Amino acid sequence: EDQVTQSPEALRLQEGESSSLNCSYTVSGLRGLFWYRQDPGKGPEFLFTLYSAGEEKEKERLKATLTKKESFLHITAPKPEDSATYLCAVQGGSQGNLIFGKGTKLSVKP
Amino acid sequence: DVKVTQSSRYLVKRTGEKVFLECVQDMDHENMFWYRQDPGLGLRLIYFSYDVKMKEKGDIPEGYSVSREKKERFSLILESASTNQTSMYLCASSLAGGEGGNTIYFGEGSWLTVV
């Protein structure tokens, strides 16, 4: 059964304190791993897609990496505006739908 | 930019009412999806559609139906709303096929409260 587990559930950082969020997955035939950002009361906003182990993508203070079993979202020198819930999802098999983790709620204090 | 528009952001309905949630996308995407999101449970797939008039059950289809009469529009229907259907509903769309994954884009969500 396809499964996605994110850790930690919640993370509190001071502004400028770098850290990483983890996404472990099991899926038959990975087609893509996706990271989304979700602000309270809004829909998920697309950040990155990773397709194969070893791939990395960057956007501002965020960097996503992928291995055969997990993905990391590295946050460098975070700012309060980076506070949000970060969702990881995998797309596998022949279908186009996503299997989501439960998210990591990030709070960055000034 | 991809635009997925959900017609109602906030709804309050009575138990037993028939509820329609409408979603429109403007990127000519083949695939459309309905998810619900609940605290502690994450996003769960209700139904999806790969083409006009086609529909497939997701993980939690009970109590819901869908309609896709036009490519850009995907409707979620609660035939007889119940309190356990109080939730945030998210519509999404993506391109079809391909070996690589296709990015799924989400709307802003519809908050449904059933009283």
Measuring CA to CA, which residue among A98, A56, A106, A57 is closest to residue A82? A106
Please indicate whether, in this complex, the C-beta atoms of A43 and B96 are within 8 angstroms of each other: no
A48 reaches B (C-beta below 8 A) = no
Q: Which two tokens stand for residue B49?
A: 């559609």
| Mean pLDDT value of segment B51-61 | 92
Please indicate whether, in this complex, the C-beta atoms of A51 and B31 are within 8 angstroms of each other: no
Q: Which 8-state DSSP code applies to residue A19?
A: E
CA B23, B24, B25, B31 torsion-angle sign: positive
d(CA A47, CA A53): 18
Tell me what the pLDDT averaged over chain B comes to: 92
Q: What percent of chain B has pLDDT over 70?
A: 94
Per-residue pLDDT 10s for chain A (110 aa) are: 788 999 999 999 999 999 999 999 998 888 899 999 999 999 999 999 999 999 999 999 999 999 999 999 999 999 999 999 999 999 876 666 788 999 999 999 99
Q: State CA A80 to chain mean position distance.
A: 18
A103 reaches B (C-beta below 8 A) = yes
* B101 vs A31, A42, A100: nearest CB: A31
What residues of chain A, 61 to 90, have a C-beta less than 8 Å from chain B?
87, 89
- Which residues of B are less than 8 Å from A84 in CB distance? none
* A44 vs B31, B41, B106: nearest CB: B106
Q: Is residue B99 very low, low, confident or very high in pLDDT (cuts 50, 70, 90)? A: very low
**How far is the alpha carbon of A12 from chain B, nearest alpha carbon, in Å?**
19
Please indicate whether, in this complex, the C-beta atoms of A96 and B48 are within 8 angstroms of each other: yes
Q: Which two tokens stand for residue B88?
A: 């945030």
- Residue B103 near residue A46, CB atoms below 8 Å: yes
Please indicate whether, in this complex, the C-beta atoms of A96 and B99 are within 8 angstroms of each other: no
